[in-house]
Chain A
């Protein structure tokens, strides 16, 4: 099988046929130089050659009779034919799908270890020498039988050691009627006979040469693709981007094909099973390609990818139904039409992505389109050749072979290699961009964490008769919680807690803006409502998108608490929710006005301020932490409240401030 070029889009039906037949062709060419005796009685000694082609003239009888294996059967009335030529020109058909062939070999005295080499065939057979079965490939009727594609084999012929030996060879061939289209020839390559010393080394060399011819391109492609596959899987592991995984699986095509070819060199494969495997693999690799492109191009609408996969699935109807009797040309046409449509759809998606600004798509557009174009024209050429279109061999011959040594490489192979390098270039560029983006995000995250650290002064502190505790528990992403506890010049304490909508650096920046505005106001000794108004103005003047909920509390030394809220949860005073007028979050509208509430604190009071991360904590069953639970623990230390919400199911940043106030003792 070819390399990446042929990937997916070769005519699968042809592929399966090629798997079955390719061994025969080179072996046949090689055998032309061997001795070729003219009749059904072959004198091995007479040829004066160590290896003799014995598939010259054989006796032939259609049907099946096990007695025809016997050496003493009178086959003089049997017809004679050339087994390496097609049935039809010789006036025969293999109508009942079974036939026997007989020929005789004469070995000279003293010949030892005589062997017979059978070519690889898409027919099942039994081989007899002097009535004794010496080999079998596949299963034959009666009983379960399925067509096998067997490798070339060597069988030992029984001969005596002293006198000259006459050996009667009988070959029983069988194939299912519906698979008769696979081969017009009786034998795709010659049957050879010779001494073991001469034939076996030749057989080994021929097999190696055949492997190079059949799989050299595939082997070369696999050497490139396996490291690419490993790299793609590594990139998938590092980035969790699925298109790397799909690309890696797509890269498995040639190594898989190579492995099956290697196995096919040693085992007889059931033809239908081999065909099913190829159909499945062909479809799978087409799906991997479509999913890779869909993921890589970040297509929001996956319907086109689904449509391409559907077309690839429809293409397999041809190969699937060919063994069931669908003629070869319609099977090829079905495959060609749907597979080409699927490929062109993918090319169109790449072009569309490129035009929409995904520049990397342009990197593989040309090699990919070239590969699809060459592959489709090759398949079309096959069909036109099958239809005997006059002169088509010259203009569109199917495969165009660029060179033949050390192994054949076709134009289709070359376009596939170019396509592979195009994909590689794209993946390298994407990975480089991903790394750069991750570095940028990482820097942004570090910056956001640094800003966040300044927004929430996590500490315990005492200011006169105030004692504060601040606890901040960050969620996975950097959030926009902020809080400040600032003593003012008049002896009062300003406590502010807020939450910026959104996450990440943007939220941290807005939080920084809010804290900056707040700090600039601390010495003006404004009322909480005024603080919120001024912060709102600052937020609206900035270009940053987002809004802020904020609670602003001022506690005077004698215990008078004034508070105002911009959409923030109210505080708790000694376990009771403080009255707090609702207000719009900061940064939304210019005319937002904030109403403040005033409350006298008892002589000893614990004021608890919190971010909505406490209330929005959610259990695995979906239950909210909520106001009621919060009220239940609102007198606990800040650390306990934060930990309770975190245990319940943290969803967002959690910030809790407890502010313990004790009335100053008035001297008697």
Chain B
């Protein structure tokens, strides 16, 4: 059974005090998650938000269509010169994200704390 994808937004600060917008995803990320993944990114101001953390800690399942949405966000963020970090991936999806070349556009971190410490 597919779980509905949900997203919540939180304003954080990195270890160096820079503002960072975290988008926390839960549920399944698939072709039906466009509003949650792309929609939540599009709602952010490209001028005000310069660092984004995509947190997948609460994600149960992520298929190739879901990864396509993540790539779409990364391409858009890359165009807008935004820095994107990704955290909370399971080892399986860490491997998948690496495999599809996402590391060219975003840095993968094991968890949110590691991301905040490094950014």
Contact = CB atoms under 8 A, between A and B. Distances in A.
A624 B61 contact: yes
A651 B98 CA distance: 22
Interface string A597-634: 00000000000000010011010101010110000000
A616 B60 CA distance: 12
A435 interface: no
Given A547-B68, A627-B92, A582 B100 contact: yes
B99 interface: yes
A502 B31 contact: yes
B119 interface: no
A569 B68 contact: no
A622 B61 CA distance: 8
Given A569-B99, A583-B101, A584-B104, A501 B61 contact: no
Contacts of A499: 64
A262 to B, nearest CB: 47
B65 interface: yes
B64 A549 contact: yes
A218 interface: no
B65 A502 contact: yes
Nearest to B103: A582
A652 B64 CA distance: 9
Nearest to A620: B1
Contacts of B63: 612, 616, 651-652
B64 A588 contact: no
A14 interface: no
Contacts of B75: 588-589
Given A501-B65, A501-B68, A626-B92, A565 B99 contact: yes
Interface string B88-100: 0000100110111
A624 B61 CA distance: 8
A567 B99 contact: yes
B83 interface: no
Contacts, number: 56
Interface string A564-594: 0101111000000000001111001100100
B93 to A, nearest CB: 9
A618 B90 CA distance: 15
Contacts of B104: 584
B71 interface: yes
Contact of B60 (A565, A567, A584, A622): A622
A549 B65 CA distance: 11
Select the residue from B60, B68, B103 with max chain A CB neighbours within 10 A.
B68
Contacts of A588: 71, 75
Contacts of A627: 92, 95
B113 to A, nearest CB: 25
Interface residues of B, number: 19
Interface string B8-39: 00000000000000000000000100000000
A585 B71 contact: yes
Contacts of B99: 565, 567-570, 582
Given A502-B31, A588-B71, A627-B95, A567 B101 contact: yes
B78 to A, nearest CB: 9
Nearest to B92: A626
Contacts of B60: 622
Contacts of A612: 63-64, 96
Contacts of B31: 502-503
Contacts of A567: 99-101
Nearest to B93: A624
Contacts of A502: 31, 65, 68
Most buried by A among B63, B101, B103: B101
A585 B101 contact: yes
Contacts of A582: 98-101, 103
Interface string A414-449: 000000000000000000000000000000000000
Contacts of A626: 92
B106 to A, nearest CB: 12
B61 A618 contact: yes
A568 B92 CA distance: 14
Interface string A540-569: 000000110100000000000000010111
Contacts of A652: 63-64
A72 to B, nearest CB: 82
Nearest to A580: B99
Contacts of A618: 61
A300 to B, nearest CB: 11
Q: Considering residues B92, B100, B103, which has the most beta carbons from chain A within 10 angstroms of its beta carbon?
A: B100
Query: Which residue of A568, A620, A622 has the most chain B CB atoms within 10 A of its CB atom?
Result: A622
Contact of B100 (A585, A615, A620, A624): A585
Interface string B52-79: 0000000011011100100100010000
B50 to A, nearest CB: 22
Contacts of A615: 92, 96
B64 A501 contact: yes
Nearest to A584: B101
Given A502-B31, A651-B63, A549 B92 contact: no
A588 B103 CA distance: 15
Contacts of B100: 549, 567, 582, 584-585
23 contacts: A499-B64, A502-B31, A502-B65, A503-B65, A549-B100, A565-B99, A567-B99, A568-B99, A582-B98, A582-B99, A585-B100, A588-B71, A588-B75, A615-B92, A616-B63, A616-B64, A618-B61, A622-B60, A622-B61, A624-B92, A627-B95, A651-B63, A652-B63
Given A612-B96, A620-B1, A626-B92, 15 more contacts: A501-B68, A503-B31, A503-B65, A547-B71, A549-B64, A567-B100, A567-B101, A570-B99, A583-B101, A584-B104, A612-B63, A615-B92, A616-B64, A627-B92, A627-B95
Interface of A: 499, 501-503, 546-547, 549, 565, 567-570, 582-585, 588-589, 592, 612, 615-616, 618, 620, 622, 624, 626-627, 651-652
Chain A to chain B: the 9 pairs with minimum beta-carbon distance, closest first: A567-B100, A584-B101, A501-B68, A582-B101, A616-B63, A612-B64, A582-B99, A626-B92, A583-B101
